[in-house]
Copies of this chain bind each other. A is one copy, B any other.
């Protein structure tokens, strides 16, 4: 049986979980661990590197590697296309375009995306349904300077997210999670009362420094976004 980096990582995590290696404790050096596990030093190194990347241990050039006093735990959230998100729940996906306009960028958007005065943007508002019930309201602004083809794209059948994912790579994204009170339009479309608390994702994506799109994805009341870590 070959000892893999996953075996080594699991055993070290287990020792930390059992308290054999306590917060602040020095980790054994990699050469000794390799000998103890009967594996290559590179195998131990990869396990250690992942533990460091996950914030379980911290590596310092001179002081060696220690178990973090307060592990920085990171939760990872996959950001799927909403069609995939809905279908993964075994529900039927349906899309509806609510509005599509080309207009001058409002001031708040110009500030957020770094657009020039008078620059036109494409504004698309649409709904995503799961088994016929409102699931997500999408309010999206797209910068046609960066994505010229978008002005000719047809969003009556499929949503702009699917089009963008297929057509336009992005290099950087900023994502925020928040709670908002439903205003009248959102309440109508999502089938909730005005001022109900709704979960919203706001995401901006850039391609090498130029803003592509800013989108607000507001979920039906009661939506939870969950992950294990």
Contacts and interface: CB of A to CB of B under 8 A. Distances in A.
Contacts of A75: 76-77, 79, 173, 175
A117 interface: no
Interface in A167-209: 169-181, 195-200, 202, 207-208
A144 interface: no
B77 A72 contact: no
Nearest to A171: B17
A208 B17 contact: yes
A180 B207 CA distance: 34
B72 A74 contact: no
Interface string A70-86: 11111111111100100
B70 A79 contact: no
B224 A176 contact: yes
Contacts of A19: 169
A70 B84 contact: yes
Contacts of A208: 14, 17
Contact of A165 (B71, B81, B165, B173): B71
A229 interface: yes
B226 A175 contact: yes
Given A16-B169, A74-B76, A225 B55 contact: no
8 contacts: A16-B169, A70-B81, A70-B165, A73-B79, A73-B173, A75-B175, A175-B228, A179-B197
Given A17-B170, A74-B79, 20 more contacts: A13-B171, A14-B208, A23-B165, A23-B169, A69-B166, A70-B162, A72-B79, A74-B76, A79-B229, A174-B228, A175-B226, A175-B228, A176-B224, A176-B226, A178-B225, A179-B179, A179-B198, A180-B197, A181-B197, A197-B197
Interface of A: 13-14, 16-19, 23, 55, 69-81, 84, 162, 165-166, 169-181, 195-200, 202, 207-208, 222-229
